[in-house]
Amino acid sequence: MKGWQPLKISIIGTGYVGLVTGACLAEIGHHVTCVDIDEQKVGMMQAGHSPIYEAGLEALMQKNMEAEKLSFTTDSRGGFQHADVIYIAVGTPQNPDGTTDLTAVEVAAELIAQHVVKDVIVVTKSTLPVGTNAWVKEQIRLNLRRDVTVEVVHNPEFLREGSAVYDTFNGDRIVIGAESREAALIIEKINEPFDVPVFMTDINNAEMIKYASNAFLATKISFINEIANICEKIGADVGEVSYGMGLDKRIGSHFLQAGIGYGGSCFPKDTSALVHLAGGVEHDFELLKSVIRVNNHQQATLVDKAKQRFGSLAGKRIAILGLAYKPNTDDMREAASLTVIERLVEEKAAVIAYDPHAIEKAKPILPRSIAYGGSLQEALTEADAAFILTEWDEIKRFPLSDVESLMNSPILFDGRNCFQLEEIRKHNIEYHSVGRPSIKRAFL
């Protein structure tokens, strides 16, 4: 890293992307100030606590705060005063019509224009529709209060929630989209200590790479789930099928795990946004529309299986094991549990839910009628059936003998295929998974 030197970096937004980016940039030596308008959240972070659950993040925060390389503030003016580079990492949620809500991005651009006091590079980390970075640059230019130069660079993130810190240091590529080669080279230099391959391109290409990547991964998930549905009808095992497919290097094994569909902050939002973007240029993205329909249908399959098994779910005590949309995060955005629990409540089932980290995030958005267990044991006790919705290690490692003894009738509906069929057969458990033969027992 000859000639490398740390820079003063400010980050607007402390969600999953902003906070992870800030902590990791501090870890490689930069001086990072994270700016957020949420006073309660900032106070929590100033005390060394992460507002989100993400493996390894809180320890990384505390380490770099103690080293005085990472700080948090609600003061935009002070936060931007010495910045060489400002990252925009605010949320870009989905509007009801499928478009991207850029309100927070616009606010961030206005804050930058109001408070920067020297030449600066603005780096957008948020997922933005093609053309948005040019709009961001124009918004800043129109509102600038000083004679300074602002360059805009798009540096999309490709982090998996639950392993975002790991992914930052072990990524496949860093994409840098810029009009100015000089600005792009500075961002490349910032990231040099990560020792991850860098791909430089123009801004439109960088914006499209992010959307296309997420859409393709979502497509793989919906494809294998459709294969799983066929496997169930012909008596095949989708686990064996996907393994055999994945041995082909052209296909690969990643994102070929059948289940109850994708969720989270990226895939649902980005697939809808890309469909809308395509429609805006008069292209009917039929493939991606089908991917979305398949995923929406897939989330309801476990409830359908349970209704077929019991006839009526009214009065049945149903344990929900896992609420977050994936393990190692507490993110509830577009989680399958939201759809499943809503359906179960409509069927008048008595629901008790457990998740090791997401319960507090789940309570405000789930029906008030459901109960919560403080442990897997509590959730499973005297349950008539259990739905596995998140493949937490704690759930996968839970003794099946305890499942058998705790439940009123040990019937599992496994939406994440957590257990091998051979292991299930060793126990008196009825087991329904995704894309694999059911194991039936003589329960009522």
210 is in an annotated binding site: yes
Q: Is 132 annotated as a binding residue?
A: no
Is 397 marked as binding a ligand? no
- Three-state DSSP at 101 gives coil
Q: Is 316 annotated as a binding residue?
A: no
Residue 159 among known ligand-binding residues? yes
CA 414 – CA 387 distance, rounded (Å): 6
Decide if 418 is catalytic.
Answer: no
Residue 113 annotated as part of some ligand binding site: no
44-83: b or e for each residue (b if 16 or more CB lie within 10 Å)? ebeeeebbbbbeebbebbbebbeeebbbbbeebeebbeeb
Question: Would the annotation count 124 as a binding residue?
Answer: no
The neighbouring-strand residues paired with 8 are: 31
User: Is residue 255 a known part of a binding site?
Assistant: yes
Q: Which residue out of 34, 231, 266, 418 is catalytically annotated?
A: 266
Q: Burial letters for 107-131: b for 16+ Cβ neighbours within 10 Å, e otherwise?
A: bbbebbbebbeeebbbbbbbbbbbe
The residue ranges of DSSP E strands in 110-214, in sequence order, are 120-124, 150-154, 174-178, 198-201
The response to whether 36 counts as a known ligand-binding position is yes
- To the question of whether residue 92 is assigned a binding role by annotation, the answer is yes
> What is the amino acid identity at position 190?
I
146 a known binding residue? no
Residue 158 is labelled as binding a ligand: yes
CA distance 76 to 104: 14
Is 258 a known ligand-binding residue?
A: yes
Is 256 among the annotated ligand-binding positions? yes
H-helix segments, 300-434? 301-310, 336-346, 359-362, 376-380, 393-396, 400-406, 421-424
Contacts of 401 (CB under 8 A, 6+ apart): 427
Q: How far apart are the first and last CA of the chain?
A: 67
Q: Residues annotated in the binding site for NAD(+), as ranges?
A: 36, 41, 92, 127, 161, 269, 333
Q: Residues annotated in the binding site, as ranges?
A: 36, 41, 92, 127, 158-161, 210, 255-259, 263, 269, 326, 333
Q: Name the residues annotated as catalytic.
A: 266
Q: Residues annotated in the binding site for substrate, as ranges?
A: 158-161, 210, 255-259, 263, 326
